[in-house]
Chains A and B, each alone.
Chain A
């Protein structure tokens, strides 16, 4: 995870430098705040990856001499087909239409979103309908 960590930390550092120069020179707050937030977005996951890379076991994908049999086998169990993304998408669509045409549309919209949240979480835990 070293390269990933360095990439994100490097970006965070670059944005921090850019922010320092820009905000002090221009005294313009919108850009200053946005660049500062960009710096945080680099440091937060980057810092986590860096901390984690020093504690984790080496992964086959970071090993330049790895063999495919070394990484063979189960990668993970993911829900396959699922109706919940579509349901949540339709719910979000209705919520947005509610923002345009009338707040009553939030009722079916939010219902679908919440139903999809519960259904999708349960599917992930249980493994979905068999």
Chain B
């Protein structure tokens, strides 16, 4: 049926018709509503988080003893490959730009839906089928892909890795790659064309700005991966010699193409979570975002620079221009630092209250600080030479991604009431937080020491040194704590099911999504406030406390807000 998307006038009661349509399974298969699609993405990606986490627990079980017999050497290679692949391709990316983004971005800018609703639905189906494709590798002869989530040539060619598992991995990434590209198109078009009146670009919430930058990065990076994967498939099946020495190919070309996508990818993952953290810290400090424009320019800088640093993953190949990639990688620390100081500035002189969402955001700050600082070492080639492919790098990126996981749970606790209409239990949430936060440090801190002491990554067994065994045991304890925190979250979901109805604005939120009902109605808004800043809901609820443009004087900006 045709939907005529309408935008209501200012603070008018819009005579809303009851929305009739299919229900149940048929509704799920045919819906193009961004709220339904966003919820589908959220549920699917959290299931992928649990699956990837289960693989991690098996890996850590194997590494608890030097000569573990939990799995065979061959199974171990499949497990860490699929752990990384599921977590990055099937959980973190889709959660970052498909789940909360799909749900929240249109509402934050006052749009009735995404610009291309059917393309949005297609993105989800490509994601779901891509996930099934990748995981079905476990059920074919030869098992799932086993060459690491990066699939370096020549290890990933048909001679070294025969079998359908690798091809299913490639096919899955083609499906999820197009899913991401279509989402990138949708986000750009929605943000450029469907903003509400008065919502100028520099009045958009930081979360939406971050998703815009993410969308542009997706469009720049994902096609490169797609092309590289197609070439890998051709090498494997059509007798081409693109990545093989025999026949005049260049194995290192795979790394250039993969990492040209791969480094922007980690920022595609991180930048949406940065946006979640920004929103949460502002609301739970009862302050505006500090340095709003600086935040935006910092995020644009991170995105732009991220396209020029890919070969810092290739320092040890000996064939890349070390100084160029070193200075570019070191420079990314600057805008990241600006964001950190702006987050602190948002809390400064605020009234900080420690809801679960805020605790998760603070946990993100502490954990990302460690991960970010260790990343600076890796930007220096001499220092990278002896830490590359050791547990130091494993610890660095697990600090960073666990920080993103903390931020993601913060987003779920913060926006959960808006999406479902019900709050999650706060005490259970705080218990989950402590297990997750402490578990993350217990997981990663021993791994830094292991890497500096010489333990390589992607090994199933290691020399029998008491010190290495102790550190590995501690790291595995951390993994178990993280697993426990996930179970607590599931318990919270079940316990809180339809138990605590949320109002429109349980947190005194500032941005436009908090102006509408929880959950929002069909086409999102019955009424819209006047938009004169990046905090339209705050301005409407607290007109005498609008932001001060300059840090010094206390008088409010003199502006009449027309009465509704």
Q: Select the stretch in B8-16, B426-434, B451-459, B487-495 that faces chain A.
A: B8-16
Q: Is the pair A3, B118 in contact by a Cβ cutoff of 8 Å?
A: no
**What are the residues of chain B within 8 A of A62 when measuring CB–CB?**
200-201
Cβ of B338 < 8 Å from any Cβ of A?
no
- Taking CB atoms and an 8 Å cut-off, the chain B residues in 106-141 that contact chain A are 111-113, 117-122, 124-126, 128-129, 132-133
Contacts of A129 in B (CB 8 A): 1
Q: Which residue of A lies closest to B32 (CB)?
A: A82
B197 contacts A68, C-beta separation under 8 Å: yes
Most buried by B among A8, A34, A65: A34
In the complex, A50 has a CB within 8 A of chain B: no
A107 to chain B, nearest CB (A): 17
B31 within 8 A of A: yes
Residue B365 CB within 8 A of the other chain: no
Given contact pairs A26-B324, A120-B118, A34 touches B260 in the complex (Cβ within 8 A): yes
Q: Is the CB of B1 within 8 A of A78?
A: no
Inter-chain contacts of A93 with B (CB < 8 A): 125-126, 129, 132-133, 175
> Chain B at the A interface: mostly helix, strand, loop or mixed?
helix
Q: Are B324 and A86 in contact (CB under 8 A)?
A: no
B contact residues around A66 at 8 Å (CB): 197-198, 531
Any A CB within 8 A of the CB of B168:
yes
Interface residues of B in 1-42 (CB under 8 A from A): 1-12, 21-22, 27, 29-32
1/0 contact trace for B542-559 toward A, CB 8 Å?
000000000000000000
Give the residue name and chain of the A residue nearest to B175 (CB): A96
Cα–Cα, bound, A93→B133 (Å): 8
Q: Annotate A1-40 by CB proximity to B: 1 below 8 A, 0 otherwise.
A: 1011001100100110010011001101011001100100
For B, the interface residue count at a CB cutoff of 8 angstroms equals 77
User: In the complex, are the beta carbons of B528 and A89 less than 8 A apart?
Assistant: no
- Does B386 have its Cβ within 8 Å of any Cβ on chain A? no
Given A31-B260, A85-B119, A86-B121, is A25 in contact with B5 using a C-beta cutoff of 8 Å? Answer: no
B289 in the interface (beta carbon within 8 A): no
Interface centre among A14, A21, A127 (most CB of B within 10 A): A14
Contact stretch, chosen from B216-224, B440-448, B470-478: B216-224
Stretch at the interface among B61-69, B300-308, B376-384, B389-397: B300-308
A84 at the interface (CB under 8 A from B): yes
Question: Once the chains are docked, how many angstroms separate the CA of A90 from the CA of B197?
Answer: 39
* B46 beta carbon closer than 8 Å to chain A: no
Q: Are A72 and B7 in contact (CB under 8 A)?
A: yes
In the complex, are the beta carbons of B2 and A61 less than 8 A apart? no
Query: CB within 8 A of B529: which of A14, A21, A68?
Result: A68
Which of B113, B121, B308 sits near A18, CB closer than 8 Å?
Answer: B308
Chain A interface: which of B93-101, B188-196, B411-419? Answer: B188-196
Question: Which chain B positions have C-beta within 8 A of A110?
Answer: none
A79 is an interface residue with CB less than 8 A from chain B: yes
Nearest B residue to A71 via CB reads: B197
Contacts of B27 in A (CB 8 A): 81
Q: A25-B324, A101-B164 are in contact. Are A128 and B192 (CB under 8 A)?
A: no
Chain B residues, CB < 8 A from A73: 6-7
Q: Are B117 and A79 in contact (CB under 8 A)?
A: yes
A30→B210 CA distance, assembly (Å): 28
Asked whether A99 and B198 contact (CB < 8 A) given A21-B324, A89-B125, A89-B128, the answer is no
B216, A68: Cβ atoms closer than 8 Å: no
A67 to B1, CA, bound (A): 31
By CB atoms of chain A within 10 A, which of B8, B202, B253 has the most?
A: B8
* Partner among A21, A31, A75 whose Cβ is within 8 Å of the Cβ of B112: A75
Tell me if A68 and B9 are in contact (CB < 8 A): yes
Partner of A92, one of B21, B178, B219: B178
User: In the complex where A73-B7, A77-B5, A127-B2 touch, is A35 in contact with B307 (Cβ < 8 A)?
Assistant: yes
Given A3-B202, A61-B199, are A81 and B8 also a contact pair (CB < 8 Å)?
Answer: no
Tell me whether B267 is interfacial, beta carbon within 8 Å: no
Contacting residue for B2 out of A31, A70, A79, CB 8 A = A79
Q: How many whole Å from A125's CB to the nearest CB in chain B?
A: 11
**B224:A34 contact, CB within 8 angstroms:** yes
Report which of B121, B174, B196 forms a contact with A68, defined as CB distance below 8 A. B196
Chain B residues within 8 Å of A68, by CB: 7-11, 196-198, 528-531
Q: Are B321 and A61 in contact (CB under 8 A)?
A: no
Interface-central residue, B1, B12, B174, B300, by most chain A CB under 10 Å: B1
Q: In the complex the two chains form, is B532's CB within 8 Å of A89's CB?
A: no
Contact of A90 among B6, B129, B199 (CB under 8 A): B129
Tell me whether B481 is interfacial, beta carbon within 8 Å: no
Interface residue from A15, A30, A41, A70 paired with B253 (Cβ < 8 Å):
A30
> Which residues does chain A contribute within 8 Å of B111, judged by CB atoms?
75
Q: Which of A36-82 contact B (CB under 8 A)?
A: 38, 41, 49, 60-82
Q: How far is the CB of B22 from chain A (nearest CB, A)?
A: 6
User: Which residues does chain A contribute within 8 Å of B200, judged by CB atoms?
Assistant: 3, 61-64
- Measured between beta carbons, the chain A residues less than 8 angstroms from B196 are 60-61, 68, 71
Query: What 6 pairs between A and B have smallest CB-CB spacing?
Result: A89-B125, A68-B10, A60-B197, A71-B197, A85-B121, A93-B129
- Return 21 A-B CB contacts under 8 Å, by A number: A11-B304, A18-B308, A22-B324, A26-B324, A28-B321, A60-B197, A62-B201, A68-B531, A75-B7, A77-B3, A78-B5, A80-B3, A80-B32, A82-B30, A82-B32, A82-B118, A88-B122, A89-B126, A99-B167, A100-B167, A100-B168
B residues whose Cβ falls under 8 Å from a Cβ of A = 1-12, 21-22, 27, 29-32, 111-113, 117-122, 124-126, 128-129, 132-133, 164, 167-168, 171-172, 174-175, 178, 192, 194-203, 216, 219-220, 224, 233, 253, 256-257, 260, 300, 304, 307-308, 310-311, 320-321, 324, 528-532
The residues of A with any CB-CB pair to B shorter than 8 Å are: 1, 3-4, 7-8, 11, 14-15, 18, 21-22, 25-26, 28, 30-31, 34-35, 38, 41, 49, 60-86, 88-90, 92-93, 96-97, 99-101, 120, 127-130
Give 16 new A-B contacts, CB below 8 A, not counting A72-B6, A85-B122, A93-B126: A15-B304, A34-B224, A34-B260, A41-B219, A61-B199, A63-B197, A64-B200, A64-B203, A68-B11, A68-B198, A69-B10, A80-B21, A85-B120, A88-B122, A88-B125, A128-B2
